[in-house]
Structure 1
Amino acid sequence: MSQKVNTVLGPVLADELGKTLMHEHFFFGYPGFYGNSLYYPNNREEILRAAMEFAEIVQAHGVKTVVDATPNDTGRDPELLKEIAERTGLNIICSTGYYYEGEGAPAYFKFKQALGTAEDEIYELFMGEITEGIGKTGIKPGVIKLGSGKDAITDYEEVFFKVAAKVQKETGISIITHTQEGTMGPEQAELLVSEGADPKRILIGHMDGNTDINYHLRTLENGVFVGFDRFGIQGFVGAPMDNERVGTLLGLIGSGYTDQLMMSHDKVNFWLGKPPAWPDELKKLTENWHPGHIFQNIIPALKEGSVTEEQINTILVKNPNRIFGGREAVRNLKGNRDAATVGDEVK
C-alpha cells in the first residue's frame, strides 16, 4: 500500500513522486526583505520566469517533484507555488514551519514564549495548515520545516522541534530540517526521536556541511535520513568544497547507508527584496550552485567512485518515496505501523 502526500495541487501518491529534489527554494527572502519598498513587492512575472527556467532544467534531468523548503517567515507563498506547479507540471511540496532563530523572524513567538502561549499557538498553526490549509488558500503543506543555529539548539528553536514531533505523531507528516554550518545534526535527530517522531519520516538537512564521518554515523544511528542537499554552495558560510562532500558521501554509500541518503542543492532560485551582489571570488566559488549541478557534475563524480545507477536511483527516487510513506517505506516497515498518516492509503 502507498500513502499520499500533499502537494500544492492536491494529494499525490508517494509512489508517483518519481525523481525528487528534497530541499530547494523557488523564491526566498530573509525576514525584513519586505521593508525595502524599492524592491518589494517583487515582480511576480519575473519570479515565474525564473521558476520556469528552474523547472526546465530539472525536468530535463527527469525530476518530477521538488520540495520547496521555504518556511513561513522567509517569504513562503503557496498560491505562487501553485501557479508554478500548474505552469510547469512539477509536483511541488510546500512547507509549514519557521526558520532558525539567527536568520528567521523570532520576535513574534519569543514574545509568546514570554507569555507562556508559544507552544499552544505553534501547535495550532501546524495542525491548522496541515489539516485545513494555509490561510484561505486550501493548499496544504507536505512537510514541516525546522531549523537550528550553529553549535546549539536554542530554547526558541527547541519549542518548534517538540511541537513538530507531537504533530508528526498525530498526522504522519514528514519533517525536514536545516542545520547550520555542519552542526547539531545528531542532536536534532535525537531530540525529534526522543519526543516520539518517526525517524523514517525525518530528513536532517544540510548534513554535507560536515565531512566528519562519525558525525554522520551518530545521526544515522537514529534511523533518520540525512541530506547532502547544499551541493554548489561551497567555500563560504562554513560549507566544505563539493569534492570533500563527494568523498564523505562515497564513504557512507560504501558503508551501506544508501537507504538513508538524499541529495539536493538548497538553491535559491529568486531572492525576494533586492538580489544579493556577490563578490567576484564568491561568484567563482558558487558557479555550480544551479539546479542541474547534481546531474551534470555530482552524479558523474559518484559513478567514478563506483556508485551504481541503482544506488543513485535509491537516493533520488526510492528514499523520497520512503519518507513520504510509499510502497518502499511499507516494505521497510516490516509490519511496524506506529505512526498515523496524512491522506489515504491505497492498495
Structure 2
Amino acid sequence: MTKFKFPIIFPIVILSFLVALECNGQSIQAKIETVTGVVSSENIGFTLVHEHIMSNFGADPSDIDSYDEDKLFKQVLPYLKSLKESGVETIVDCTTAYFGRRVDLLKTISEASGVKIITNTGFYGAAADKYVPEFARTASTSELAAVWISEFEEGISGTEIKPGFIKLAFDDGIPSELDLKLFEAGILTHLATGLTIAVHTGDNPLAVKAQIALLEKYNVNLSAWIWVHASKSSDIGYLTEIASKGAWISLDGVNKDNITSYVEMLKVFKSKKLLERVLLSHDGNSYPRGGAVRPFEAISISLIPTLIKNGFSDSEIHQLVVVNPGNAFSVRVRKN
C-alpha cells in the first residue's frame, strides 16, 4: 500500500478501496445512503462518523431548524472544502429532526463542497428529552417506527433524500421509559430498513446493558448498533468487551488536546485485535447556532501522524477511517 504523505496543512490523503462485507458467509456490495443519493462502500473514502454540519443545540425547539442561510454557506462551505482537500470524503451528520436537521441545506452543501454527507432519522432523547417531539411521548413503538421507516422509503420532509442511519440518544443514569421506547422503535426501523442504529450513550453502562438486552430480544446482531461517545467511558476493559461481541465503539471526541489518550485507547484495541470495531470522529460542528466552527480536523492533523509514529500501519489507519465506516453504515438487516 502506498505510504500516506502529509502536507503541512490538513496532513492526510487516503485512497478509498472496495470494502467487501460478509453477510451469512457471502461477500456483498454495501449500499450507503447519502443526501445526494446511494453510493457503494468502495466510494465512501475517508469518513468522519460523528460530526454536525450545523445544529441549533440549546435553542428553543420551536425555532430549531431556522438558519441564516447566507451566513451558513459562507462559513460552512470553505471549511468543508478544506477538509475535502485534506482527504475527507464523507461526513456523517448527527443532527436529528427537532434538533436542527435540514436535509435540503445538507444537499446544497454537499453538492457545493464535494463532500458526501449522510443524514439520519430518529429523535434525540438526551438533554432531558428537550428535543423529543410531543407526539412521540404518547405514540406507540410501532407508530414511531412507522415515521422513521416512511422517511427511508419515501424521503425526508417531502424530498427524495433518505436517511443513512438511525440516530437516538439516552440521558445519563437509569434509562427512562421514553428512551427505551425510542430505542425499541429504532430496532423495528432497522429490521424494516437495514439502517444502523447510532445511540448517544456516553459513559452509561446501564444504558449499554439495556440497549444490548433489547437487541437480543429482537435477535438483532450487535453490529447493527453504534455505542456513540464511548470514549467518555474510562473503563477500557468494558469497551473492548462490548467490541468483542460485535458492537461498534465510537471514539468520537478527538481534539488537539487529547491525542495521547486516543492513541493509548487505540493501542489497547489493537493489542486485542479489535481495531475493526472502532470508529473515529470529533463531534465537531461547522455552524453551532451560528457561532464559530467547532473544528473537526484533529484526526487528520494530529491523530493519524501520531498513530504512525506509534507503529500503526497504513492498513490499520485505513481500516479505522475508511473500511470501518463503510461497514458500519452499510444498509442491511443484521440478525443473529
TM-score normalised by structure 1 residue count:
0.80
**Pairs within 5 Å for 1:158-169:** 158-169=180-191
State the partner residue of 2:325. 320
Return the alpha-carbon distance in structure 2 between the equivalents of residues 338 and 301 of structure 1.
Answer: 35
Residues 122, 160 of structure 1: 8 Å contact kept: yes
Q: Shift of residue 53 of structure 1?
A: 2.6
The letter of the residue matching 1:28 is S
When residues 204 and 188 of structure 1 are mapped into structure 2, their CA distance, relative to the original with a 3 A threshold, is farther
When residues 40 and 91 of structure 1 are mapped into structure 2, their CA distance, relative to the original with a 3 A threshold, is closer
Return the alpha-carbon distance in structure 2 between the equivalents of residues 99 and 207 of structure 1.
Answer: 17
Cα-to-partner distance string for 1:202-228 (whole Å, 9 max, x where unaligned): 221111112321220232133111111
Cα-to-partner distance string for 1:279-308 (whole Å, 9 max, x where unaligned): xxxxxxxx9x52211111111222232211
When residues 45 and 261 of structure 1 are mapped into structure 2, their CA distance, relative to the original with a 3 A threshold, is same
State the partner residue of 1:197. 220
Cα-to-partner distance string for 1:32-73 (whole Å, 9 max, x where unaligned): 44667xx99431021112221331232122111111011112
Return the alpha-carbon distance in structure 2 between the equivalents of residues 164 and 34 of structure 1.
Answer: 22
State the partner residue of 2:298. 293
Q: Shift of residue 151 of structure 1?
A: 2.8
2:68 counterpart of 1:46: no
State the partner residue of 1:9. 36
2:308 counterpart of 1:303: yes
Cα-to-partner distance string for 1:104-145 (whole Å, 9 max, x where unaligned): 423614641xxxx33232111111001111121121101000
- Per mean C-alpha deviation after superposition, the further-off stretch among 26-35 and 135-144 is 26-35
2:131 counterpart of 1:108: no
State the partner residue of 1:30. 57
Q: Shift of residue 85 of structure 1?
A: 0.8
**Pairs within 5 Å for 1:237-248:** 241-248=258-265
Cα-to-partner distance string for 1:63-114 (whole Å, 9 max, x where unaligned): 11111011112100000000001101111110111112325423614641xx
State the partner residue of 2:111. 86
Structure 1 vs Structure 2: percent identity of aligned residues?
24
Return the alpha-carbon distance in structure 2 between the equivalents of residues 107 and 141 of structure 1.
Answer: 18
2:234 counterpart of 1:207: no
Return the alpha-carbon distance in structure 2 between the equivalents of residues 268 and 292 of structure 1.
Answer: 11
Residues 99, 145 of structure 1: 8 Å contact kept: yes
TM-score normalised by structure 2 residue count:
0.82
Q: Secondary structure at the match of 2:147?
A: helix
| Unmatched tracts of structure 2, length 5 or more | 1-27
The letter of the residue matching 1:320 is P
Q: Secondary structure at the match of 1:72?
A: coil
The letter of the residue matching 2:209 is E
2:251 to 228, 248, 251: 228
- Per mean C-alpha deviation after superposition, the further-off stretch among 51-60 and 140-149 is 51-60
Cα-to-partner distance string for 1:175-217 (whole Å, 9 max, x where unaligned): 2121234655632651353133332232211111123212202
RMSD over aligned Cα atoms: 2.7
Q: Secondary structure at the match of 1:146?
A: strand
Q: Secondary structure at the match of 2:127?
A: coil
Return the alpha-carbon distance in structure 2 between the equivalents of residues 168 and 70 of structure 1.
Answer: 19
When residues 154 and 109 of structure 1 are mapped into structure 2, their CA distance, relative to the original with a 3 A threshold, is farther
When residues 188 and 77 of structure 1 are mapped into structure 2, their CA distance, relative to the original with a 3 A threshold, is farther
Residues 56, 289 of structure 2: 8 Å contact kept: yes
Q: Secondary structure at the match of 1:187?
A: helix
Return the alpha-carbon distance in structure 1 between the equivalents of residues 204 and 309 of structure 2.
Answer: 26
Return the alpha-carbon distance in structure 2 between the equivalents of residues 191 and 299 of structure 1.
Answer: 35
2:278 counterpart of 1:261: yes
Q: Secondary structure at the match of 1:60?
A: helix
Return the alpha-carbon distance in structure 2 between the equivalents of residues 177 and 44 of structure 1.
Answer: 29
The letter of the residue matching 1:222 is K
Return the alpha-carbon distance in structure 1 between the equivalents of residues 181 and 65 of structure 2.
Answer: 31
When residues 181 and 53 of structure 1 are mapped into structure 2, their CA distance, relative to the original with a 3 A threshold, is farther
Residues 47, 321 of structure 2: 8 Å contact kept: yes
Return the alpha-carbon distance in structure 2 between the equivalents of residues 197 and 62 of structure 1.
Answer: 34
When residues 184 and 242 of structure 1 are mapped into structure 2, their CA distance, relative to the original with a 3 A threshold, is farther
Return the alpha-carbon distance in structure 1 between the equivalents of residues 246 and 319 of structure 2.
Answer: 16
1:139 to 158, 161, 166: 161
Once superposed, which parts of structure 1, at least 4 consecutive aligned residues long, lie more than 6 Å away?
none
